[in-house]
Amino acid sequence: MIICGVDPGLTRCGVGVIEAKDSRKLCYVHVSVVRSDPEQSQDLRLLHIYNGLVQHLDEYSPDVVSIERVFAQANRNTVLGTAQAAGMAMLAAAQRGIPVALHTPTEVKLAVTGNGKAEKIQVERMVAKILRLNCLPKPADAADALAQAICHALRPSGALQGGEREQHLTRAQRQWALAQQKSQLQGSVQRGM
């Protein structure tokens, strides 16, 4: 399975491609950053991000695109640009019939490091270790895109084996599954109020 991870951003949009093999082995394929010029109008920047994403999807033909789920931050302008870039990734994937998965930064950290509050450097080190890279992927957007792809490959629902049983999950995957169950339970309790 080829997985394309996307770390959306209006200035820098990370794109990481990995291959997930049956034996839980994850292999590095490609990583890059699509950049847009902050001096251009926002519509042209989004078009540039979209075209860059299209180029990667056409070149690597992933089976799934895993995109960071955008959540509210203090800076609304940053969130807006990030959400728009994520929309460009979803559009590019949908036009090609490629399924899209969304994972929060906490889910990614938990899947990659076993700690949903891990620091960026911990995530970068684990990405390098999991993919057997000789150095840390740079810039951070590139590392985040690879982490997004790894997260999808290691998700507890068994992406590699089509629904593997729980006893085959790693410690990090079990923690992630428990965190997801807790989050879903809290969400259903809040909706019931």
Residue pLDDT, tens place only, 50-90: 999 999 999 999 999 999 998 766 566 678 889 999 999 99
Alpha-helical (H) ranges within the chain are 42-60, 76-95, 105-113, 120-130, 140-153, 171-192
The better pLDDT of the pair 51, 156 is held by: 51
Lowest-confidence pick of 103-107, 155-159, 163-167: 163-167
The predicted pLDDT at position 173 comes to 57
The predicted pLDDT at position 160 comes to 39
pTM assigned to the model: 0.80
User: Annotated binding residue at 37?
Assistant: no
Q: Which residues are catalytically annotated?
A: 7, 68, 141
Are 52 and 13 spatial neighbours (Cβ–Cβ below 8 Å)? Answer: yes
pLDDT tens for each residue of 169-184: 555 656 666 666 666 6
User: Annotated binding residue at 119?
Assistant: no
User: Annotated binding residue at 141?
Assistant: yes
**Domain, as residue range, for 110:** 2-192
133 phi/psi in degrees, rounded to 5: -90, 150
Residue 90 sits in a domain of what CATH number? 3.30.420.10
Strand partners, 18: 3, 28
Say how many domains are in the chain.
Answer: 1
